[in-house]
Amino acid sequence: MLHDVITWLRCPICGAAAERGLTLGQGVLRCPVGHSFDVAKQGYASLLPGGAHTGTGDTAAMVAARVDFLGAGHYRPIADALADAVRAAEAGRIVDLGAGTGFYLARVLDAVPGAAGLALDISKFALRRAAKAHPRAGAVVCDAWQPLPLRDGVADVVLNVFAPRRGEEIRRVLRPGGELLVVSPNRGHLGELVGELGLLGVDERKDERLAKALTPHLAPAGASEHTFTVKLTHAEVATVVGMGPSAWHTDADALAARIAALPDPVEVTVSVTVSRFTR
């Protein structure tokens, strides 16, 4: 799919000064100035400048947990909500910023025939999956906190699901009238697990921080809350913890003991907000 999204991309080194196209060769992307970037055998390209730090990306273990959990369909209603929103926007070019394994992007592309997608993430382990998530999706390694390796105004819709975001960069890559769809957790999200397992909770000022980051650059265009329950086995509880930020902050032995004390299966609340912003 890199062939189909190559025109969306720009060189992350010299592209800040001018819009410079990239060409795809045998295992490499090149810009007219001569900067080159590797294309992995799994199909994703790395557009990280030299010296970039990738320590915040999902590990192989986190990606494996995410594949298992999302593949079981527990978060399918979230993907369906995104698909409905993108279908209403009549989008043809969809960028998933912080795409992970490409699960949500693939579901959106299934719902929008003819659209093409690009998965952006800093984790090469995640993008090995995302590059194969859908026949109409490409995958590129980049840092969401840095200038994105995309041309100005190239995206009809940007997806951002439980992922970092920079408002000014999202505005730059959206076309006029384009939309950003942000999925963020609510206070009750996984509430039955947070206290019992000592997981990271949702910041009380989440909505305030989201508005502060985005409204100087994009206009709020509505939001919808999606709350439902799922029944999780002990193994699935371990995977949902292992795929998220709490994986960095929990002791494996202590976590296993706490999970063993839960009912099996345990009913867990999933609660998120899908927020729309427009350029």
State pLDDT tens for residues 112-151.
998 999 999 999 999 999 999 999 999 999 999 999 999 9
pLDDT at 17 over 60: no
Q: Which helix (H) or strand (E) is 110 found in, with range?
A: helix 103-111
| Of 18-22, 31-35, 75-79, 181-185, the least confident | 18-22
| Tokens (6 digits) for 254 | 């202590």
φ, ψ of residue 158 to 5 degrees: the values are: -115, 130
Q: Residues 43-60: pLDDT tens digits?
A: 999 998 766 666 567 889
114 in Cβ contact with 92 (< 8 Å): yes
Q: Which whole-number Å values give the CA distances from 256 to 18, 250, 270, in the listed order?
A: 52, 10, 21
Cut 0.85: pTM above it: yes
Q: Is 248 exposed, middle or buried (0-12, 13-18, 19+ CB in 10 A)?
A: exposed
Question: Each residue of 218-237: pLDDT tens digit?
Answer: 999 999 999 999 999 999 99
pLDDT score for 209? 83
The more confidently predicted of residues 23 and 105 is 105
15 vs 12 pLDDT, higher one: 12
